[in-house]
Amino acid sequence: MATKIKRIGILTAGGDSPGLNAAIRGVGKAALGNYGWEIVGFRDGFRGLVENERINLDRNALSGILTVGGTILGTSRDKPHRMVVDGETKDMTGVIRDNLKKWGIDCVVCLGGGGTAKNALRLHRAGINVITLPKTIDNDVAVTDASFGYATALDIATEAIDRLHSTAHSHHRIIVAEVMGHRAGWLTLGAGLAGGADVILIPEIPYDVEKIVEAIRQRTKHGRNFSIVAVAEGAMSRDDAHIYDVAEKKLKRAKTLGGKIEAKREIAALDIRHQGNTMRLAKLLEELTQLESRVTILGYVQRGGTPSAADRILATRLGTACADLINEGTFGVMVAARGEETEPVPLEKVAGKRKSVPPDHHWVATARRLGTCLGD
């Protein structure tokens, strides 16, 4: 069913990632060129919809941004239903709906990960036309084959692991490289495989330090007295994973608001305790193997800079397909990558879901065949 669209909005939310500008350009060029709509960019995520902070995305604004890292719109982790305004946390959903109506915005395109899909779904349920595109360096957005940002981050993390090899080798050291990914191990597993890490630790496979030590000792026995350990920021020991598991089950079971708040507090405390895990792991490995250990936290380097060719193509494909879906009147969906095609999937299938590494994934099997230690 064709919808009479005149003006669309676009925003970027959550952590930035390479390819966001390529996607803005894809949506914008198709919107202007193929459909003649006006396109307005809202600044700093959902906050722009409240504060009317905007940029008119005309042809000039869309020119020259394909290769630019970050997002020209700015981003934030603000949630429409829990936004701090004038020092108070407020539900701004109604304000956003009224604003969009007042400004004549027929649809809002939200570029983000699973959290953004959740927020977009809330707006959709409040009667706003929304559509999302999957971006994340973590590759953990559900129901899409790929999300833009991941391919670039994978290249960056792989290059870092490549470079760490020569210095680890020269000094006969263990180098523990911490890779981003939140609760998913895709980035670490991919970079670990591509960079030839000796140990790969991901959240989906809780580790036993003794197994890592044994793998490193075996390498020393065979004359290789250095090791590269690629560890995901969310990776944890079996004991810690069990403690998290108990806390998360408690949250799921909580029936009252008070119970939920308490369970969430417990998880937050565990998250704080988890910070520094990589440093502690390296220290432990040094003590147990008697090999000098060093840590490199790759951090935000993985999110910055120019998108790779693969991410530019993906973001452009998803962005242009998004304009076609808006033209058809398809809302409340995420534009998913499906092989070489794209497909609209209902936001209910994406929001609050996480695509984790299945323990029997073929990348895991490949690493095992190579003899890479996965800590289990």
Among 9, 15, 80, 319, binds ligand F6P (CB under 6 A): 15
User: Judged by CB under 6 A, does residue 43 bind ligand F6P?
Assistant: no
Instruction: Report the relative pairing of strands 333-338 and 130-136 from DSSP bridges.
Output: parallel
Q: Which is nearer to ligand F6P, 173 or 303 (CB)?
A: 303
By CB under 6 A, tell whether 180 contacts ligand F6P: yes
Rounded CA-CA distance 76/12 in Å is: 8
Q: Left (φ > 0), alpha (ψ -120 to 50) or beta: where does 95 sit?
A: alpha
Q: Give the helix/strand (H/E) hosting 177.
A: strand 174-179
Reference 66, options 264, 319, 299, 351; nearest CA is: 319
Strand partners of residue 341: 338
Q: Distance between CA atoms of 133 and 336, rounded to whole angstroms?
A: 7
Closest residue to ligand F6P, based on beta-carbon distance = 180
CB atoms within 10 A of CB 375: 23
* Nearer of residues 137 and 373 to ligand F6P, judged by Cβ: 137
Q: Which residues does the annotation mark as catalytic? A: 138
Pick the stretch among 56-64, 134-142, 193-201, 288-296 that binds ligand F6P (CB under 6 A): 134-142
181 or 344: CB nearest ligand F6P: 181
Q: What string marks each residue from 249 to 288 as x (binds ligand F6P by CB under 6 A) or -? A: ----------------------------------------
Give 75 or 289: the residue with its C-beta nearer to ligand F6P.
75
From candidates 129, 136, 152, 188, binder to ligand F6P by CB under 6 A: 136
- How far apart CA 365 and CA 294 sit, in angstroms, is 28
Q: Largest Cα–Cα distance in the chain?
A: 72
CB of 188 to ligand F6P, least distance (A): 10
Is residue 137 a contact point for ligand F6P (CB under 6 A)? Answer: yes
Instruction: Please report whether residue 138 would count as binding ligand F6P according to CB under 6 A.
Output: yes
Q: In this complex, which beta carbon is closest to ligand F6P, that of residue 62 or of residue 137?
A: 137
Give CA–CA dist 161/328, Å, rounded: 45
Please tell me whether residue 303 binds ligand F6P under the rule CB under 6 A.
yes
Q: Which of 138, 90, 99 is nearest to 116 (CA)?
A: 138
- x-or-dash string of contact with ligand F6P, 181-200, rule CB under 6 A: xx------------------
The b/e string for 256-285 (b: 16+ C-beta within 10 A; e otherwise) is: eeeeeeebeebeeebeeebeebbeebbeeb
Closest to ligand F6P by CB, 105 vs 137, is 137
Stretch 210-249: interaction string toward ligand F6P, x if CB under 6 A: -----------------------x----------------
DSSP 8-state class, residue 240: H
Residues that bind ligand F6P (CB under 6 A): 15, 136-138, 180-182, 233, 303
